[in-house]
Chains A and B, each alone.
Chain A
Amino acid sequence: MTYETVIGLEVHAQLLTKTKIFCGCSTRFGETPNSNTCPICLGMPGTLPVLNKKVVEYAMRMALATHCTVQATSTWARKNYFYPDLPKGYQITQFDRPLAEAGYVDIEKNGAKKRIGITRIHMEEDAGKSIHDELSGSSYVDLNRAAVPLIEIVSEPDMRSPDEAAQYLRRLHEILVYLEICDGNMEEGSFRCDANISLRPEGQESFGIRAELKNMNSFHNVQRALEYEIQRQRAILERGDRVVQETRLWNTSQEVTHSMRGKEEAHDYRYFPEPDLLPIVISDAWKEEIANALPELPMEKRERFVSEYGIPPYDAGVLTASRALADYYEEVARLCGRPKIASNWVMGDFLAYLNEAKLEIGESPVPPAALAELIGIIEDGTISGKIAKEVFEEMWQSGKQPKEIVEDKGLVQITDTGELEKIVEEVLAAHQNQLEQYRTGKDQLFGFFVGQTMKATGGKANPKVVNELLKKKLSTP
């Protein structure tokens, strides 16, 4: 029997606010344990939460960017459970009245768009971290992360393969990063994903029994875990057994999932309305203000790059990977007026040097204007494409302007026919043997003469002119 895979994802994204969601503590990552804490985020008796308005603003950005309906009134709830890294014994979250509902994100399937529904987006506070020391048998708690703001983005069960799930995840990730509300760092846990996955016989309407997968801290792991889980569930179904509804953990080193807890052991979170906070009321004016300030999103930008600059969709994809890169490219393209060549340079040498040096776009020693100038002097024939690579390297090292480098090093292309004719004649005279062979039919030696001529000019000869001159000289004995 063939089975269809059904996947839904729950994504937690840490918001990039300076302070925590209900107190004034810093959200900075990697500080001394428990240094970013105060009586409020430590859950000391008598303390009360006060909402950080920026959190609502950031969450609204994501909601509007994913076409969700932002509710005029939403409410807070308490999710109750005991754990040492949860200081109050409950998490403040949203439950029956979330901030936003019914949105979507588009992915690609067989060259067409496929819409993945978003059920809801809600705000909540993060928990702290427990660190277990196997050696001493002690457990330590770091509450720096406690009450760092999160949004949870819950998808509809609309994905049908690990590839679709990975695509959807990447789309969410790039939107969050584009909106500058999340740094998207999966290793540090600022972008986390849980998956619900089930199989059903092809054509069946109702869903199969699902497993919830946790602990997948990279795009690659999400895809691998889902692939593994499909195999596992298919094997169960094929031998006529039932899949158990449970939570399973992905083991990165063994590349398998392990049962963490079954349905019976599932927590009863005893959700109820949070009495310490007022409902979140959002006016149309506020919503509009946020909507108007949204940047162009990656999908839109990609489509615009293809139509406006005439570059291939692949190039557009690479160039819009981040807002900074897209902005860099657009600046270069605008200044030099050659979008396709600009795309080649940005995607090629520029990114190669940047990655090699492990730099961010903003730290690049070559600003867009300099790269545009370089493209300009290639296009007007001042230097050859080959020399340009040398010039680029020099620009990267010294930070100098391309024209300055070309001048200092005397790299201007020789296009003077008279001067070049003399050099060509010298080359031919110096290689009588090869000349004989060429004339007896060894055509492939043409390239040899071009190379020798370029060498003699230190690479500065205009290759087009050299070609023409050689053709003329070699055809007339």
Chain B
Amino acid sequence: MEPNRLTIHELQERLRDGSLTSAEVTESVYRRIASLEERVHAYITLTEEAATQQACAADKLIRAGTGGPLTGIPIAIKDVLCTQGVRTTCGSRILEDFVPPYDATVVRKLKDAGAVFVGKTNMDEFAMGSSTETSRFGITKNPWDLERIPGGSSGGSAAAVAADECMASLGTDTGGSIRQPAALCGVVGLKPTYGRVSRFGMVAFASSLDQIGPITKDVEDCAIMMNAISGHDTSDATSVPTKVPDYRACLSRDIEGWTVGIPKEYFVEGVDPEIRASIDTAIKTLEGLGARCLDVSLPHTEYCIATYYIIAPSEASSNLARFDGVRYGFRAPDGESLLDMYKKTRSSGFGAEVKRRIMIGTYSLSSGYYDAYYKKASQVRALIRDDFDRAFTKCDVVLTPTTPTPAFRIGEKMDDPLQMYLYDIFTLSTNLAGVPGISVPCGYTKGGLPIGVQFMAGQFQEEKLLQVPSAYEKNSALEKRKPDL
């Protein structure tokens, strides 16, 4: 088997026993990219030269016996995370040539762990979108069906993992942007508890909702990545100094006697019957492992979309104000006055969806509308958080579908933003509540499209969030498939 098809933990063993080198693995990854990228387009920027050097350095460490779990492992980074000396575009024209002089904390942590950086992955512009179609740099295709979207906004990160164009990747999740593309691409994606992973160096979309997390080929790899990126950071005041457990250690424990909450609000009309069937099978598998499934209620679920689409654009409208053409990034060359320069820069620097959200957010925060929109949304957000607090007094984890339907066709929802927004209906709530969520593959449609099941847990309960799907993954009858490319 080509080394690029392996998981991190499989590769780790082979690197350690000397049957493979990081240089060989890295080479196989770039071979794969060379043969596929034209069709999949998971990456915006590739850093092969630097990666080759990193692989050689990693091989030295491995030979010396001082390598860690990620030493020499090729990893891809979503292009919203700052990488020192490597351009970071956020999928936007306004940052087309922006080269940060600093690394995001997660990038630095992976560097310290000896990882090899393959490149920067494609995404919806400023992470605003559910299909990776709003990128300035072209559309990423779903490796399972090149006519379809890979999900978004971390579509490039999910597609790269699914297509074996890297071992694992980092994505960001503000309303489902890790879990939803992971589900659509048949891989694992975890959004940590708000505050578990430092946001320093992630170009902010909605600061109170954003989290960085891993997209991997299986749950064990997800735990390995979480071990590497979690923890308090003095550069991010909202990161929490709670101790980081060894997430890999919990994976082998069984889940006998555990309780899995099934919220009725997530099993409504509109969920694709094939998805419904796969989820039911997953529930049976868990029951077979001794878990008890029970009904729970998250009564404010119906308000999630409205709440999210006020809070996220409000924060975004402020976060994106710094892209004004003054200090860095794109500046319209023909501005006749300061105001004219601002208008032209931002009008042509941002795409339609970003501008739409800036306007929604600006409106929600305006005097006279603030109380009716932003303030009201913040109050509802508190109720949504309470829903989860109550639910987790009754169960260890909550189980839902990740998406209502499998991957849709490219262009299908681009002219209907509301339909696009509704697609994130099952993933927004964890961001509003600040709790962690994970999507793992649980089946395929008859047409061969992957289906994901989502688990959610209480704040800082990532161990539970990894332990349940790990047990499921090991014991489900689901055959392991790779996209036919």
Contacts and interface: CB of A to CB of B under 8 A. Distances in A.
Interface of A: 39, 42-51, 78, 80, 82, 84, 87-90, 139, 141, 268, 270-273, 275-278
B203 interface: yes
B95 A45 contact: yes
Interface of B: 81-82, 88, 90, 95, 98, 100-102, 104, 199-204, 206-208, 234-238, 314-315, 317-318, 320-324, 326-328, 338, 342, 362, 365-367, 370, 374, 378
B377 to A, nearest CB: 11
A48 B366 contact: no
B448 to A, nearest CB: 38
Given A80-B318, A275-B315, A278-B237, A270 B202 contact: no
B321 A47 contact: no
A45 B207 CA distance: 12
A277 B338 CA distance: 31
A294 to B, nearest CB: 28
Sorted nearest first, the 3 A-B pairs with minimum C-beta distance are A89-B321, A270-B365, A275-B207
Given A82-B342, A268-B367, A46 B204 contact: yes
Contact of A80 (B102, B365, B374, B378): B365
A41 to B, nearest CB: 11
10 contacts: A43-B322, A46-B204, A47-B201, A87-B327, A139-B338, A141-B326, A270-B366, A272-B374, A273-B378, A275-B238
B88 A45 contact: yes
Given A45-B90, A48-B235, A50-B237, A272 B370 contact: yes
B321 A82 contact: yes
Contacts of B314: 272
Given A90-B321, A275-B208, A275-B315, A44 B200 contact: no
Nearest to B326: A84
A87 B323 CA distance: 9
B237 A89 contact: no
B82 A46 contact: yes
A426 B199 CA distance: 97
A50 B200 CA distance: 11
Given A50-B236, A84-B326, A275-B207, 9 more contacts: A39-B102, A44-B100, A45-B100, A46-B88, A46-B201, A50-B234, A88-B321, A88-B322, A276-B204
A45 B316 CA distance: 13
B322 A46 contact: no
Contact of B318 (A42, A46, A89, A268): A89
Given A275-B315, A276-B237, A45 B322 contact: yes
B362 A270 contact: yes
A139 B341 CA distance: 13
Nearest to B94: A45
A278 B237 CA distance: 7
Contacts of A45: 82, 88, 90, 95, 98, 100, 203-204, 322-323
A46 B237 contact: no
Contacts of A271: 365, 370
Contact of B322 (A50, A89, A278): A89
B183 to A, nearest CB: 27
A278 B238 contact: yes
A276 B237 CA distance: 7
A43 B378 CA distance: 26
A45 to B, nearest CB: 4
A84 B338 CA distance: 9
A68 B392 CA distance: 43
Given A42-B327, A50-B235, A272 B322 contact: no
B129 to A, nearest CB: 18
A277 B203 CA distance: 16
A437 B208 CA distance: 100
A46 B203 contact: yes
Given A51-B237, A276-B237, A278-B237, A46 B202 contact: yes
A48 B365 CA distance: 22
Given A82-B324, A275-B315, A47 B200 contact: yes
A97 to B, nearest CB: 14
A270 B360 CA distance: 13
Nearest to B367: A268
Nearest to B203: A45
Residue in A39, A51, A82, A88 whose Cβ sees the most chain B Cβ within 10 Å: A82
A270 to B, nearest CB: 4
A49 B238 CA distance: 10
B318 A78 contact: yes
B309 to A, nearest CB: 16
Contacts of A48: 199-200, 235-238
Contact of A44 (B199, B234, B315, B328): B328
Contacts of B236: 48, 50
Contacts of A78: 318
A78 B326 CA distance: 20
A139 to B, nearest CB: 8
A21 to B, nearest CB: 12
B104 to A, nearest CB: 6
Contacts of B365: 80, 270-272
Contacts of A270: 317-318, 362, 365-367, 370
A42 B328 CA distance: 10
Contacts of A39: 100-102
A90 B318 contact: yes
Contacts of A141: 326
A270 B369 CA distance: 10
Contacts of B201: 46-47
B467 to A, nearest CB: 30
A50 B234 CA distance: 8
A43 B327 contact: yes
Residue in A46, A276, A277 whose Cβ sees the most chain B Cβ within 10 Å: A46
Nearest to B101: A39
Contact of A46 (B104, B206, B234, B367): B104
Contacts of B328: 44
Contacts of A268: 366-367
Contacts of B327: 42-44, 87
Contacts of A80: 317-318, 321, 365
Nearest to A266: B367
Contacts of B208: 275
B175 to A, nearest CB: 15
Contacts of A43: 322, 327
Nearest to B362: A270
Contacts of B320: 89
A44 B317 CA distance: 16
A171 to B, nearest CB: 34
